Structure 1
Amino acid sequence: MELHLETVALFSLKLAYESEDSSPILRDDLVMGDYQRDVFELLVRRGDVETIKLKVDECMGLALNAIGGVDTVLGRELQGLSADFSTAQTIAQLDTPLIALRDYLKAIQ
């Protein structure tokens, strides 16, 4: 799960901050500091669902803004997937909507 969380954050930050004329954002970039796998691993081990959802929500806000907000087709789909993730109450319930978010963000890169 930690890898999926980190990947969702990476794809979101790529949408928000990466441009054609700049270097690509990588997992070890400073912008990924709060969203690295080891950070998520600690949160998962603690069972801290609320903090995980908060971190993913921060990334979704950036990604949503980068694709034009909820008034776009991409934005509405992302918002729906994000809402599915936000309704999870346990670590186990995060997995399926997290994978859907990851796959969607990968597809719209």
Structure 2
Amino acid sequence: MELLLETVALFSLKLAYETEGASPILRDDPIMSDYEREVFGLLVRRGDLESIQFRMAHCAGIALDAIGGADTPLGRELQRLSADVSNAQTMEQLDAPLTALKDYLKAIQ
């Protein structure tokens, strides 16, 4: 799950901050410091669903701003997928919505 969380964060930050012709954002980039696999691993081991959802909502918000907000077709879908992550009641229920969010962010890069 840690890798999935890190990947969602990475794709969100890439969408928002990566520019054409510049160096790509990688997992070891300083911008990823709050979204490293180890940080997510600690949250997963603690079962801290609320903190994970908070971090994912923050990443989705950054990506949402980058694609023009919730009034765009891409934004509406991103907002829907982010809400699915926020609505998970247990750690086990996070897997499917996170995978869908990751796949969507990858597709709109």
The TM tier, using the shorter chain, reads over 0.9
The reply to whether residue 39 of structure 1 matches residue 39 of structure 2 is yes
In structure 2, what is the Cα distance between the partners aligned to 1:31 and 1:102?
A: 18
Count how many residue pairs are aligned between Structure 1 and Structure 2.
109
Q: Which runs of 5+ in 1 are unaligned?
A: none
TM-score by length of 1: 0.98
Query: Could you say which residue in structure 2 is the equivalent of 1:60?
Result: 60
The reply to whether residue 49 of structure 1 matches residue 63 of structure 2 is no
The runs of 4+ residues in structure 1 deviating greater than 2 Å are none
Aligned residue type for 1:59: C
In structure 1, what is the Cα distance between the partners aligned to 2:90 and 2:46?
A: 11
- Map 1:1-109 → 2, pairs under 5 A: 1-109=1-109
Cα deviation digits, residues 1-27 of structure 1 (max 9, x gap): 110100000000001101013110000
TM-score by length of 2: 0.98
Identity, % of aligned positions = 72
Q: Which runs of 5+ in 2 are unaligned?
A: none
Query: Cα RMSD (Å) of the superposition?
Result: 0.5
